[in-house]
Chain A
């Protein structure tokens, strides 16, 4: 796990910049000491374990400190992003049906899935941008709302299209959120 990845993850969890720097520096320092004694592979494993064990602690601390306000900020950001993406999807669907016949659209399922996942990624990025208090949390909630909508939606889509969308939507939205967190981490580093 690289230091840049650690910084992105911490930025996504809204850990402040000074603390991100200190935590990443500590991990680099201790990892180097371990690598000198036990080898690179063992040091990498230790670092991964530290991160995996620390993420729930940071989430728990954020929930404890933020409480209802944090929840409202996350859900609000996810709903705002959902509204924006729904409008875009509606507009692009109208444009597509004006340009291409319904039979042709029916044959382009893979293209439709790719477009929807791209919208999911974009929406995840937007949710993370709006939900500054917890960028990755907002992107994840956006994904959960999106999947919930596809579960309720009774369209006559191609057989595998809907299960594929339900399976891939949350990873796509979290990827969008991750992109936003990476921007935040890089911006802080270059400032």
Chain B
């Protein structure tokens, strides 16, 4: 029982995790720290720290929702490599599940923003 709850908790996706996951999927081959941070900040309407983005990306990688590879170092980055991220099949499923859950929650609620 506790094992099942633990698995469910570890596979669940929070709001910020979903935003990061979505941006990694949208950025496709250009998903790395700078672009992901920019895209997440734009979508959430607030400036996100690089630390928040990377710790979330690491968590998503541990959950198997994204995979990463290291690129070649470049002079514009002071000779440091990029860590590029890509969505996995499990990550893609997690996005669709989150979308379906949100739709189920909202459908038939009859609530509009002006009512709340």
Contact = CB atoms under 8 A, between A and B. Distances in A.
Do A and B bind?
A: yes
Nearest to B81: A21
B49 interface: yes
A22 interface: yes
A29 B76 contact: yes
Contacts, number: 72
A25 B77 contact: yes
A57 B33 contact: no
Given A53-B49, A57-B52, A58-B51, A26 B70 contact: no
Main secondary structure of the interface of B (DSSP, over half): helix
B49 A57 contact: yes
A18 B83 CA distance: 8
A22 B32 contact: yes
Contacts of A70: none
B55 interface: yes
Interface residues of B, number: 22
A132 to B, nearest CB: 19
A23 B50 contact: yes
B43 interface: no
A183 B82 CA distance: 23
A32 B75 CA distance: 12
B97 interface: no
A61 B34 CA distance: 20
B93 interface: no
Interface in B10-57: 32-34, 37, 49-52, 54-55
A24 B55 contact: no
Contact of B54 (A19, A29, A30): A19
B55 A57 contact: yes
A114 interface: no
Contacts of A3: 78
A26 B78 contact: no
Most buried by A among B74, B80, B81: B80
A58 B78 contact: no
A29 B34 contact: yes
Given A18-B83, A21-B81, A32-B76, A26 B50 contact: yes
Interface in B65-98: 70, 73-74, 76-78, 80-83
Nearest to A22: B83
B101 interface: no
A58 B55 contact: yes
Identify the 5 closest CB pairs spanning chains A and B, nearest first. A54-B51, A25-B80, A25-B77, A26-B33, A22-B83
